Amino acid sequence: MTIDSSIALDRTRFFIDGVWTEPKGTETHLALEAATEKPLGRAALGSDADIDAAVRAARRALDEGPWGRTTAAERAATMRRFAEALAARAADTATLVSRENGMPIGLSNAFNGDAPAGLLTMYADQIEAAQLEEVRPSASGSTVVRRAPVGVVAAITPWNYPQVLAMMKIAPALAAGCTVVLKPSPETALDGYVFADAAAEAGLPPGVLNVVVAGREAGAALVSHPLVDKVAFTGSTAAGRTIGAECGRLIRRCTLELGGKSAAIVLDDADLDTFVAGLDNACFQNNGQTCTVQSRILAPRSRYAEVVDAVAQYAREMVLGDPLDPAVTCGPMASKAQLDRVLGYLELGRASDARLVAGGGRPAALSRGWFVEPTVFADVDNRERIAQEEIFGPVVTITPYADEDDAVRLANDSEYGLGGSVWTADEDRGLALARRVRTGTIGLNYYLQDLGAPFGGMKGSGVGRELGPEALDSYLEFQSVYASAAQL
């Protein structure tokens, strides 16, 4: 397939050791625009040898280069320059991501445009205020308790929120004094190098941040590389299990932010106008390609028909189309493979005893692009695959419950535990119920991530936490230096 050279966004080299480096292999990925299926550009895909070069550059920057000797204040200053360089590119970056993965532009402006620079600034502030050494009295004199960088971090990121999910790893790692090898997903290969462009402009020392787009095999080489000290991964639960097992074998630290199949619990006193107003963020965000979406709606039998009608009407009124159009509320799936996956689940839903009340296929008016109709299945048994497996598209199920205990049982009847929400006129009642749901995050009458609070999952949704000051600790090691009383 040919690419118009006047608009091509090719990225044929990797960013390793502070310079643009020719790939050691010949494999490439052709990026297609999600809404049009037209070529955007071509990106080189890294081999094991490219990964090895990036990891060794990160190790040198940590052990031999200036980064390993920086103060917290020096790192913070570098991070703020990095943030300024990213902020200057924010609008273009957001547009590029929307073209790559179909994210509605308003959401992309927030998460791929503004959030990365904001996270760098937040962690720059945190590391400057952190107490990295503390002297404690001991029976033998004193102990100096240090918080030192973990070391070389392998950051492996997905395609659905590529910029913010990468920065959720890069920012605390850099603040802690670590060096990073970033492996973005091939599906959003082109925007990953925005980090490299900005890092070079900001003057990050060579090797501190290395960017190599690669597939699964090279990703596995990164996870198991002997010079990597920590793996930070966001992606599927299946891949997370493999990575977690390898890190366990190597006695290597890891943070795993994995899949979700979260529940939105509508209580009998809920205000439906509030619920409907929150459906975009809670249940359909980013065309359903969000790990925290509450794609299982649990409704009380006393108001079940009312809830079904409201959700179905909302889905029917969503505007499908070009994600760069601010009026569009549902863009395409990120790839043909993802479209086929979602359509497969729609077939499963139609073959079950569930009742299709909205959507259910591809929109007739959009012949190009990987679009699927926002879809609602009612009367869904919680044991059905469409209620248990992560679909990652604009598809929700609605299941009735008898009472609060039954709602909690259904919400917890899942291998996942990442997001969730409770909708009620009585916030104290909602808070009490929220405490009973086994999930890492849950909202009361809305769902919107707080970048200043810890984020992560329970059960099959992951291990460890990102965001908030808690994330910084996962990139620091404790060291105790036994000294004399003279240190007190």
Q: pLDDT tens digit string along 464-488?
A: 999 999 999 999 999 999 999 999 9
Packing angle, helices 189-202 and 162-176, rounded to 10:
40
* pLDDT band of 9, cuts 50, 70, 90: confident
Q: Residue 261 has what pLDDT? A: 98
For position 8, what pLDDT does the model report?
53
Q: pLDDT at residue 173 above 70?
A: yes
- Residue range(s) of every CATH 3.40.309.10 domain in the chain: 263-451
Q: What is the C-alpha separation between 223 and 221, in angstroms, rounded?
A: 6
- Count of C-beta atoms within a 10 Å radius of residue 226: 9
From 89, 103, 93, select the one nearest 35 (Cα to Cα): 103
User: Which own/partner contact pairs does 200-205 have at CB distance under 8 Å and 24+ positions apart?
Assistant: 200/15, 200/18, 201/85, 202/78, 202/81, 202/82, 202/84, 202/85, 203/78, 203/81, 204/18, 204/78, 204/82, 205/18, 205/61, 205/65, 205/66, 205/67
Q: Does the pLDDT of residue 397 top 70, yes or no?
A: yes
Averaged pLDDT, 174-201: 97
CATH fold of the domain at 14-258+462-481: Aldehyde Dehydrogenase; Chain A, domain 1 (3.40.605)
Q: In this predicted structure, what is the pLDDT of residue 92? A: 97
Percentage of the chain lying above the pLDDT 90 cut = 98
- Reported pTM: 0.96
Long-range contacts of 223-228 (CB under 8 A, 24+ apart): 223/154, 223/156, 223/247, 224/250, 225/51, 225/52, 225/55, 225/154, 227/55, 227/56, 227/58, 227/59, 227/152, 228/55, 228/151, 228/152, 228/153, 228/154, 228/181, 228/252
What are the CA-CA distances from residue 207 to residues 199, 221, 388 (Å)? 11, 18, 42
Q: What angle do CA 458, 459, 461 make, to 5 degrees?
A: 70
Strand partners, 254: 231
Indicate whether 438 pLDDT > 80.
Answer: yes
Q: What is the pLDDT of residues 332-364, one digit of tens each?
A: 999 999 999 999 999 999 999 999 999 999 999
pLDDT for 3: 40
pLDDT band at residue 109 using 50, 70 and 90 as cut-offs = very high
- Which amino acid would we find at residue 30? L
- Mean pLDDT within 293-311: 98
**Which of 199, 166, 170 lies closest to 82 in space, CA to CA?**
199
- Return the CATH class of domain 263-451: alpha beta
Show the beta-strand stretches assigned E in 45-123. none
Catalogue the E-assigned strands of 24-177: 28-32, 39-44, 133-138, 141-149, 152-156
Q: What letter does residue 451 receive in the DSSP assignment?
A: T
Active site residue 133: no
What is the separation of C-alpha 118 from the centre of its chain, rounded to a whole number of angstroms?
16
For CATH 3.40.605.10, the residue range(s) in the chain are 14-258+462-481
Q: How far apart are the first and last CA of the chain?
A: 69
Predicted local distance difference test score (pLDDT) of residue 76: 98
Give the pLDDT confidence score for residue 7 in this predicted structure: 40
Q: What is the mean pLDDT of residues 163-188?
A: 98
Residue 4 has pLDDT above 80, yes or no: no
Select which of 33, 257, 390, 466 is catalytic: 257
Mean of pLDDT values over 359-381: 97
Euclidean distance between CA atoms 14 and 213, whole angstroms: 8
Average pLDDT over residues 59-87: 97
Average pLDDT over residues 460-467: 97
Averaged confidence pLDDT in the chain = 96
